[in-house]
Homo-oligomer: A and B are copies of this chain.
Amino acid sequence: MKIANTRPHVVIVGAGFGGLAAAKRLARRDVDVTIVDRRNHHVFQPLLYQVATAALSPADIAGPIRSIFSGSDNIRVVLDELTGVDTQSNRVRLASGKSLQYDWLILATGARHSYFGNDQWAPHAPGLKSIEDALAIRRNVLLALERAETETDEQRRKALLTFVIIGGGPTGVEMAGAVAELARRSVSRDFRSITPRCSRVILVEAGDRILPSFPETLSKMAEQSLEKLGVEVRRKTPVNDIGRGYLESAEELIVAETIVWAAGVQASPAAQWLCAYHDKRGRVIVGVDLRVPGHRNIFVIGDTANVAGTDGAPLPGVAPVAKQQGRYAADFILGRRDHPFSYRDFGNLATIGRSKAVIDMGDLKLSGFIAWLLWCVAHVWFLIGFRSRLAVTINWLWNYVTYQRSARLITGEISAASAPHAQPLERKCA
């Protein structure tokens, strides 16, 4: 792409929380910015599980990246995918065959769920990282309920009405709570042969408690709340094997039509692009200023970076970390920062379901309804764009009052009969 003038050209790869925060800081500054993302939209990932459970529509939590920057003439958005970085000539290679020269490069390419080397599990236990993932899970859950309604074989019916979520982190906990509400409550009035009791929701966690990043007391409260919702919580239960319609742990074999993976993530291959040192999860080990050792003009931020926190452990892969790192990188480029990056932790939130959440903000530890309200407000607040805030608020109020899930659509089914019909034959069979 030709750059109009000689101002420094900043290429940002990935329009997640980190890349977006960096771009916003650089908007209308004396630099040229090109954002490269393989999707045309930014996704507000913390609410993705609500799309997967039919509470929200994709457009409520995702919006076109270029609309966010329509007012910033120094920012260009390119729908493309990074395939490599040529650090000698300062160019990034793109899937389209094009390449982009950069003066500064910010890699914010995020992470994908990881099956810890068991990628064969992927088709049987999809993860939740993109809108497509969410719609696929929504389809599985709703389709299982539909089939159960008419299934006469008891065993098969049980399998259809068993939903397993693997991983007791915030995503897994929120997913389990939402699936329980959907499968056990929201839909019960609509079905004739499914009662709330028919459905089983099982949360499987390898460690000895759920929400390990939270204080123990809150973990307990979260577990109790989940059990109130009818979720069976299995702690200390590492998964040995996953196949089509079943999950195997040391103790038991669970037969379930719907299995969701929320157990672990793997950083995008930035380390390979840069031949940089990385940790086991593939996160690039960056310097205190988030630059890659040996590459003075390349930053790696967000889920793709391994940055030690005050306690020495790597910072968690959450939105606030990515945002603060994005702003830091932008400020560094603008010459406003020289001191090392330091993460300001505002605390931890997770919701379990209707009127239930846990909040850990240092001295302030909350659970229950107040925590849930705070969680709602915080998430609406951080949504990008007034429209999304409005849409999510209205949908939440609607769901809260009616107990309904408003986006219960099974789409993407390619049915034989959806192909155009051939000309029917003239009457000849009678």
Contacts and interface: CB of A to CB of B under 8 A. Distances in A.
Interface residues of A, number: 90
A417 B38 contact: yes
Interface in A397-418: 398, 402, 404, 406-418
A66 B80 CA distance: 41
Contacts of A122: 419-420
Interface in A326-357: none
A113 B419 CA distance: 9
Contacts of A398: 387, 390
18 contacts: A1-B150, A40-B142, A41-B408, A57-B60, A66-B190, A67-B404, A81-B417, A112-B418, A112-B421, A129-B418, A131-B409, A135-B411, A271-B424, A272-B424, A282-B421, A387-B404, A390-B394, A390-B398
A98 interface: yes
Contacts of A39: 410, 413
Interface in A103-135: 112-115, 117, 119, 122, 127, 129-132, 135
Given A127-B420, A398-B387, A412 B132 contact: yes
Q: How many copies, total?
A: 2
Contact of A150 (B62, B98, B402): B98
A59 interface: yes
A406 B268 contact: no
Nearest to A146: B79
A16 interface: no
Interface of A: 1, 38-41, 57-60, 62-64, 66-67, 70-71, 73, 76-81, 95-96, 98, 112-115, 117, 119, 122, 127, 129-132, 135, 142-143, 146-147, 149-150, 189-192, 266-269, 271-272, 275-278, 282, 387, 390-391, 394, 398, 402, 404, 406-425, 427, 429-430
A414 B67 CA distance: 23
B427 A275 contact: yes
Nearest to A118: B420
Contacts of A413: 38-39, 132
Contacts of A419: 112, 122
Contacts of A129: 418
Contact of A427 (B276, B391, B410, B427): B276
Contact of A421 (B135, B268, B410): B268
A67 to B, nearest CB: 5
A75 to B, nearest CB: 9
A421 B114 contact: yes
Contacts of A427: 271, 275-278
Contacts of A40: 142, 146, 408-410
B66 A114 contact: no
Contacts of A266: 420-421, 423
A335 B411 CA distance: 38
Contacts of A189: 70-71
Given A67-B190, A266-B421, A41 B409 contact: yes
Nearest to A189: B70
A345 B119 CA distance: 59
Contacts of A390: 394, 398
A1 B152 CA distance: 9
A87 to B, nearest CB: 10
A150 B63 CA distance: 20
Going nearest first, the 7 A-B pairs with the smallest beta carbon separation are: A59-B407, A66-B190, A79-B146, A275-B429, A57-B57, A70-B189, A282-B424
Given A41-B410, A79-B150, A272-B425, 17 more contacts: A38-B413, A38-B417, A41-B408, A57-B57, A58-B409, A63-B406, A76-B192, A81-B415, A114-B420, A119-B422, A122-B419, A122-B420, A127-B420, A132-B411, A275-B429, A391-B406, A394-B394
A190 B409 contact: no
A98 B320 CA distance: 52
